[in-house]
Chain A
Amino acid sequence: DAGVIQSPRHEVTEMGQEVTLRCKPISGHNSLFWYRQTMMRGLELLIYFNNNVPIDDSGMPEDRFSAKMPNASFSTLKIQPSEPRDSAVYFCASSTGQGNEKLFFGSGTQLSVL
């Protein structure tokens, strides 16, 4: 199994630019999660989907952030416009969605907004 695949691994952009992060969950997993990790706040859940439907987006910091899951094998997290305080590592994770709560994480996208 290839695991959760995220792209790009690193992204450097300028303030005001649009950023799109991509995720391919493990095949057969029905739940997908986007997390953000910073030194100050640790791992924070931004949003999660069950069967491609957003269930809880209460962790999305503001309207500049949006996430979509058009099908079971692909999700995007978009930041528009980006700001320096968005600099962090963004992780995608997936699980079977059957309640055992075992999340499997991708390698993350290191985002730097200058």
Chain B
Amino acid sequence: GQQLNQSPQSMFIQEGEDVSMNCTSSSIFNTWLWYKQDPGEGPVLLIALYKAGELTSNGRLTAQFGITRKDSFLNISASIPSDVGIYFCAGGTGGGNKLTFGTGTQLKVEL
């Protein structure tokens, strides 16, 4: 099935650094969501975006719904060790609640 492309595929950063990752698609989506997955667990919803251009924050996390509706961005400020995990974007078309998931960005934080 279709997948959204996320970049970078993985990143290794120092504690305290800011992190940026993005998600792109060849198709338009009406909804963008960002999830985080810890080892051995299911994805956990971080942020949901519903309008093109929307910028939404959740603590140290900020996500944006791209104006073209074909991309989204997630920023994490002042990273901490518990930010380690795999971050997935997901796009929705608004009908039937079906989501298409990205390929994931693995984040590793060095103390």
Q: A residues bordering B, Cβ < 8 Å? A: 4, 31, 33, 42-45, 48, 50, 55-56, 59, 91, 93, 95, 97, 99-108
Given known contacts A42-B103, A105-B35, what 8 new A-B pairs fall within 8 Å (CB)?
A42-B104, A43-B88, A45-B1, A59-B1, A103-B33, A103-B90, A103-B97, A108-B40
> Which residues of B have CB within 8 Å of A33?
97
What are 22 residue pairs bridging A and B, where the CB atoms are less than 8 Å apart in the complex?
A4-B42, A42-B3, A42-B103, A43-B43, A45-B1, A48-B96, A48-B97, A48-B98, A50-B97, A56-B96, A99-B94, A99-B97, A101-B33, A101-B92, A101-B94, A102-B33, A103-B33, A103-B99, A104-B45, A105-B35, A107-B41, A108-B41
Q: B residues bordering A, Cβ < 8 Å? A: 1, 3, 31, 33, 35, 40-45, 48, 50, 88, 90, 92, 94, 96-99, 101-104
A101 x B1 contact (CB < 8 A): no
> Which residues of B have CB within 8 Å of A55?
96
A105 x B43 contact (CB < 8 A): yes
> Which residues of A have CB within 8 Å of B3?
42
Bound-state CA distance A50–B3 (Å) is 23
A105 x B1 contact (CB < 8 A): no
Nearest-CB distance from A90 to chain B (Å)?
10
Chain A residue nearest to B31 (CB atoms) is A101
Nearest-CB distance from A15 to chain B (Å)?
25
A102 x B45 contact (CB < 8 A): yes
> Which residues of A have CB within 8 Å of B43?
43, 91, 105
B101 x A42 contact (CB < 8 A): yes
> Which residues of B have CB within 8 Å of A59?
1
Q: Which of B3, B41, B50, B98 has the most CB of A within 10 A?
A: B98
Nearest-CB distance from A104 to chain B (Å)?
7
Bound-state CA distance A31–B33 (Å) is 17
